[in-house]
Structure 1
Amino acid sequence: MITNPASKYRPFATVDLPDRQWPSKRITHAPRWCAVDLRDGNQSLIDPMDGERKRRFFDLLIKTGFKEIEVGFPSASQTDYDFVRSLIDGNLIPEDVAIQVLTQSREELIRPTIESLAGAHRAIVHLYNATSEVFRRLVFNQDKAGTIALAVSGTKLIKELTEQHPETIWTYQYSPETFSFTEPEFALEICEAVMDVWQPTPERPIILNLPATVEVATPNVHADQIEWFCRTMTRRDCAIISLHPHNDRGTGIAAAELGLMAGADRVEGCLFGNGERTGNVDIVTMAMNMYTQGVDPELDFSDMRKVVSTVEHCNQIAVHPRHPYAGELVFTAFSGSHQDAIKKGFAARKKQNDAIWEVPYLPIDPADIGCSYEAVIRVNSQSGKGGVAWVLEQDQGLRLPRRFQIAFSRVVQEIADRTKRETTTAVIVEAFRHTYGLDGSGRFSLVDYSVSGVDKSGAPRTFTGRVEVDGQTRSITGQGNGPLSSFVDALNTNFGMHLDIVNYDEHAIGTGSGTQAAAYVECVLPDGKSVFGVGIDVDSGEASMRAVLSAANNADSDMGVAK
C-alpha cells in the first residue's frame, strides 16, 4: 500500500440533493425480487452449473417464491440456450413466474435471445450497455451519442421481434450498465431515449435497472443517485426502477435498502450474495432483515438448512458459518455473558408468553427458519454458567439452581481449558453424571430406608436405613424435623460428616406417566465451603434422599469421614 493513497485514488463525487427525502423513509413492503443466480451468479462460478444443478436451483427459487428469475444468457452459451428451452418445452415455469434473459445490444445476439423464449408465457428481455465515461473512453472508444444509439437500436429490434410473438406477455428491461459511476444526467438521458422507443404505459411499464455494477461510493450516495433519478425522470409511473447492487465495498445490502427508501421498486440479487468479485446483493439477508422489522418479504425461507444445502450443491461454494441468518453458527453463543442473557430471555418468554420476540442477541426466532434451539448455546473455554445450564436443561431437562450452575460450570471450565476445544453436550452430560454420582461412581449409595414419626405432633422424625459405602452395607439412624434433616443427621452421626443443608430445590422432568423428579441440595461444610448434590427418581422423596447422598459423595476427603 502506498503512503499517500490520494495520489492514486480520488473520492467519488456526491450528488447535489440538499432536500433528499430518503433518510426519513422506511421499508414497509417487499420489493419485486428478481433472482439472478442462474445468470449473474452462475457466470462467477469457477465451474458453471450444468443442467442438473441449474434445474435444481430453479426449482428452489420457485419454491421460495420468486416471481422473476433471470435464467441465463442464451445467446452467449449453448448450455444457457438449452436450459431456457428445457424450461419452456418441459412446461416447468408456473404461469405467474416470468423468466428473464440477458443480451447485449447486438443484432446477432438479440435474435437468438428472442428465439430462445418462443412459447414462454411470461418473459423479460434484459438489454444492457455500459454508459459511464471511463467505459465510453477506455473500453468502447465511443461518445455519448454513440452510446445512446447503441441502446436505442437494440431496443427497436427487441420491440420489433417481441411484437411478432403476441402469445407471450413481454416485459422489457434496460440497464445502463455502470450506472453507479455514470454521470446522473447522462444515465437519465439514455433511459429516456430507450423509453421513447419502447413507449411504456402504467399498465405495461418498462423496467429500468440501475446497477451498481461496481460499488464505488457509500450507500447514502447510491441512495441519492436513485432518489435524484426517480424525482427527475419523466413518466415515472411507466417505469419500474430496479436495483442491482454489487458488494465491492461490502455495503451492497445497505445500498439496496437505502435504494428502496429512495424510491426503487425492485431488487436483483443472488441467494447468499454470490456474484462477480465480492458478489451481488444478498437477497436472503436482505429479505430476512425486512422480516425482523415486521415486514413480510414475500419469500419463504422456513427451511433455511434446505436452502443452504441446495445452494451449496449448485454453486459448489460453502455458505460461511457466520453468514447472517443462514450460517451454521449464527444463532450459537459461546460467550458466557451472551449465553446468560439468551437463557434469561428464553426463561422470560416462557413466563410471559408474549407474541413479540425479545431474546437478547437473537434478532430472530431460529424456529421461524426451521432451526432448532439445541445449538443456540454451545460451550467452550469462553463460556460460563449460563451456557452449561442451558445445555443440561435442553438435553436432560435439568434446571440447576444458580449457585449449582456456578459450581458445575467450574468443572466444565476445567475440561474446556484442558482439552482446548468445544465441550460437546455428551461430554458435559457425562461430566455432570460423574461429578454428582449419577453414574454410580460415588463412594456412598442408598440401599433402602424408612422415616418414622410422620404425624403432626412436632416430634422428631427418625431415619432408619442402609447405606453401602466402600462396598460394604451399613445400617444407620438419625433424627431431625423432616426426612432430609434426619438423613443428614444419620450421615453426620455414623460417618463423622459435618453436612448442613442450606438450600433445596426440586422440579419435575417431563410430563405424564414418564415424569421424574429432580432434587438439588446445597450443603455447607465447617470451613464454609459448599458442596452440591442432585438426585433423580420417579419418586420425589427418593430423589431428595439421593441428592443428599450425592452431596455427601462430593464432600472433600478432609471431612474426616469414617471408613
Structure 2
Amino acid sequence: MLNYQRYRGFPIFRYPKRSWTEREIEKAPIWCSVDLRDGNQALVEPMSVEEKLEFFQLLVRLGFREIEVGFPAASQIEYDYLRNLIERKQIPEDVTVQVLVQCREELLDRTFESLVGLDKAIVHIYNSTSVLQRDVVFDKSREEIKEIALRGVEMVKRHEKDFSGKVRLEYSPESFTGTEMDYALEICNAVIEAWDVRPGREIIINLPSTVEMHSPNVYADQIEFMSRNLKRRDSVILSIHPHNDRGEGVAAAELALLAGAQRVEGTLFGNGERTGNVDILTLAYNMFSQGIDPKLNLENIREIQEVYERCTKMSIPPRHPYAGKLVFTAFSGSHQDAINKGLRAMRERKGTIWEVPYLPIDPADIGREYEPVVRINSQSGKGGVAFILEDRFGYRLPKGMQREFADYIQKISEEQGEVSPEQIFEVFRIEYLESREPIEFRNVRSTDIENADGSYTTFADVTYRNAGRLHEFSGSGNGPIAAVLSGLNKELSMQGKVLDYSEHALNAGSDSKAVSYIHLLDEESGRSSYGVGVSSNITRSSIRALFAAVNRLFYPEEAEESGRRRVKEAEEKKA
C-alpha cells in the first residue's frame, strides 16, 4: 500500500478577492523561449554550439522575440555560443536575447563580457526564496535572502553603466510557489524599488512554479495577489515560468494568464528539468483553437518536430497534443462516424468556421493534411471504413452498404490488427468494383416509348458475357434499371428486386465519372447484397452496379474470385 502518510500538502494560499474566475483569455502573452537554457540543461546530451544555433534560428522563424540563450557564465560552451550568435550577427534587430545569472559578482562580470556588441539584452537574476530552501539549503533568514536579491540588483546596475546597450532586468524569486506570499511580495517590491522602475525603465518580475506544488487554481490566486500588489505595476511586466511536476503546467499557465500574467517562459514540447516546463506549443495551439492569434508562426508542426527531435535527441510521444502521431486519429467506430458526418456537413454547408466532432482544429492548418485522420482496427465500425473510402477515394457508400462492407474489414482487422486505407480499397475493388463473373455487362441499347397516360416505358436490349460467352436479352420497365432487371430475371430464372439505388459523381470536372450503388434483394431466399458500378455514363454505371449485385448475391464465390483475379492483373499491368 502506498505510504501516503509520509506526505503533507503545502499550505494553500487563499485569496478571496480573486477575479480571474470571471475572465477569459483574449490575446497572446509575450512569449519567451527558454529551450536553449532550461531545456538544454535537462538533456542527457546537451546541444552542441551548431545545434543550438540551428535551434535558435528555428525559434526566430517561429516568431519568438525574447529568447533565453543560456547561462554564459556557467561554461565555456555557453559563453562561446552567445559570442558566436553576436559575432556572426545571427540575432535579428527585433529579437532580444536573455541571459541567466546568479547574484554573484564574478558571474555577472563574465555575463556582461559575453554581451559585448549587443544593443539590448535581458539580464535575468534569481535566488531561491522558498521556506524549504531557506531552511535546508541556505540556512538563512528572510532578511538575508532578500539581501542576496538586492545585492544582485546593485551589481547589475554597476555593470549597466559600462554596457553600451540597454539592459532590462528580470528578477525571479525561485521556488516562488513554496514561498510565503507576503514575503514574495516584499522581496519583489524591494527589487522594483532598487532598480528604480518607471516608464521607459520597466522590469520583468518572473514568478516561477519551480516545483508545481498545488492545483492550478492556487497558482492563479498567487499570481493575482502579486499582480494587484506589486509596486509601480504599470512598469512591471509580470511573467510566469510554470513547471509540470503535477502534469498541470499548461492549465496553470492558462489560469495565471487570467490572473494577470503578461508573459510566459516555456519550451517547445515542454522540455525541461524533471517533468519539464510548460509547453508553449500546446498553449499557443490552444489559443489558436479558440480563434485567438497566438502571435507565433506554427503552420508547420512537422518542421518544428523534426528540428526539435534532431537537436535534442528527444522524441515526441504519440499522444502529445497537436504534434503526436496519433492525436488526429480515431480508432473508435462512433468517433469515426461522427468525424465523417462532421466533415461532410462542413463541405455541404460550405462552412467557414471549423466545427467537426472530436477534431478541435483542422489538422491541415498545422501541416498535418497528408495524414489519414481515421485509422481502422478491430475497434472501428462502419463509420470509419466509410470515411476512408470517401475521404481518400471518393466513394460515398449508402448506410446499408457501410454495414455490409465493414464486416469484410472487421474480419481482416481481427486477424492482422490495423488495416491501411490502401488495403481497404483493395478489398472494395475485389468485392464490388471488379465483381464481373460469371456475368459481365457489355452493352445496352435503350428506347423510351410514351404511353397513353403520359408515362414512359423503357425497352432495353442488353449484350453480356456469361462464363466468357456473349449473350443477349431484352427487357422493359419504367426506366433503364427496371428494364434490364426484368430481362435478367427472365434470362437467369431469378427473382431479383431493387431495394435501393443511389449515385454521385466520383470526381469534379467535365470528365468526371459517375458511381452507382444498387441494393438487390433475392425475393425467393430473402437475402440481399449491394453492387457498385463506375462509368462516365450514368446509365452504364447503374447497369454495371446491377450486374455486380447479381454476381455477389447469386454467385458470390465466382464474383470474389473474379475480383481477385482482375485486381491482380491490373497490378501486374502497372508493374
What is the aligned partner in structure 2 of residue 148 from structure 1?
146
1:444 maps to 2:442: no
| Cα deviation 1:253-288 (Å, max 9, x = unaligned) | 111111111111110000110111111001011111
- SS of alignment partner, residue 430 of structure 1: helix
Amino acid at match of 2:285: M
Q: Using a 3 Å threshold, how does the CA distance of structure 1 residues 373 and 236 change in structure 2: closer, same or farther?
A: same
Matching of residues 184-333 of structure 1 within 5 Å:
184-333=181-330
**Distance between the aligned counterparts of 1:227 and 1:460, measured in 2?**
81
Q: Where does 1:452-471 land on structure 2 (aligned, <5 Å)?
A: 452-454=447-449, 458=455, 460-471=457-468
| CA positional deviation for 1:488 | 1.2
Does the 8 Å CA contact 1:202/1:239 hold for their aligned counterparts? Answer: no
SS of the equivalent of 2:68 reads strand
2:426 is aligned to 430
How far has the Cα of 1:424 moved from its partner? 0.5
CA distance in 1, matches of 2:272, 2:465: 69
> Quick check: 2:513–2:534 contact (8 Å CA) kept in 1?
yes
Secondary structure of 1:514's aligned partner? coil
The answer to whether the 8 Å contact 1:247/1:279 transfers is: yes
CA spacing shift, 1:560–1:143, aligned 2, 3 Å: closer
Other-structure match for 1:474: 471
- Letter of the 1:443 partner, please give it: P
| Residue in 1 that maps onto 2:31 | 33
Structure-1-length-normalised TM-score: 0.95
Question: Which of 477, 490, 499 is the matching residue for 1:502?
Answer: 499
Separation (CA, whole Å) in 1 of partners of 2:369 and 2:456: 52
Q: Secondary structure at the match of 2:122?
A: strand
Contact 1:479 1:485 in 2 (8 A): yes
Paired residue for 2:573?
none
Kept in 2: contact 1:497–1:559 (CA 8 A): no
What is the alpha-carbon distance in structure 2 between the residues aligned to residue 191 and residue 43 of structure 1?
A: 27
Pick closer, same or farther for the CA change 1:56–1:403 going to 2, 3 Å.
Answer: same
Aligned-partner SS, 2:392? helix
In 2: Cα distance, 1:429 partner to 1:478 partner: 34
Give the Cα–Cα distance (whole angstroms) in 2 for the partners of residues 371 and 22 of structure 1.
35
CA distance in 2, matches of 1:174, 1:406: 63
Summarize the Cα distance change of 1:210–1:269 in structure 2 as closer, same or farther, 3 Å threshold.
Answer: same
SS in 2 for 1:215: coil
Q: Cα deviation per residue 1:56-103 (whole Å; 9 max; x = unaligned)?
A: 211111111111001111111211111111111111111111001111
Aligned partners of 1:170 and 1:74: how far apart in 2? Answer: 16
1:90-101 mapped onto 2 (5 Å cutoff): 90-101=88-99
Residues 270, 276 of structure 2: 8 Å contact kept: yes
Q: CA deviation at 1:448?
A: 2.3
Going from structure 1 to structure 2, the CA distance change for 1:78 and 1:425 (only over 3 Å counts) comes to same
SS at match of 1:163: helix
Compared CA separation, residues 322 and 559, structure 1 to 2 (3 A): closer
Taking a change above 3 Å as real, the CA distance of residues 96 and 559 of structure 1, as seen in their structure-2 partners, is closer
Alignment of 1:391-402 (within 5 A): 391-402=388-399
Q: Could you tell me which amino acid in structure 1 is paired with residue 255 of structure 2?
A: L
| Conservation of the 8 A alpha-carbon contact between 1:87 and 1:93 | yes
1:514 alignment partner, one of 486, 511, 516: 511
TM-score, structure 2 normalization: 0.93
In structure 1, give the amino acid aligned to 2:422: A
Matched position secondary structure for 1:512: coil
Aligned Cα RMSD in Å? 1.9
Deviations along 1:490-517, one digit per CA (max 9) or x if unpaired, are 2211112221112111111222243111
Report how many aligned residue pairs link the two structures: 556
Measured in 1, the distance between the counterparts of 2:436 and 2:421 equals 20
Q: 1:138 matched to which residue of 2? A: 136
Shift of 1:145: 2.2
What's the counterpart of residue 351 of structure 1? 348
Report the 3-state secondary structure (helix = DSSP H, G, I; strand = E; otherwise coil) of the residue aligned with 2:162. Answer: coil
Which letter maps to 1:54?
K
Check 1:117–1:559 CA distance in 2 against 1; reply closer, same or farther (3 A cut): closer
Equivalent pairs: percent with the same residue?
A: 47
Q: Does the 8 A contact of 2:436 with 2:547 survive in 1?
A: no
Larger deviation: 468-477 or 283-292?
Answer: 468-477
The equivalent of 1:111 in structure 2 is: 109
Unmatched 5+ residue regions in structure 2? 560-575
1:70 is matched with which residue: 62, 68, 71?
68
Instruction: Give the Å deviation of 1:196.
Output: 2.3
Distance 2:344 2:256 in 1: 39
Specify every segment of 5 or more residues in structure 1 that has no aligned partner in the other structure, as ranges.
Answer: none
Contact 2:435 2:552 in 1 (8 A): no
Q: Which shifted more, 371-380 or 15-24?
A: 371-380
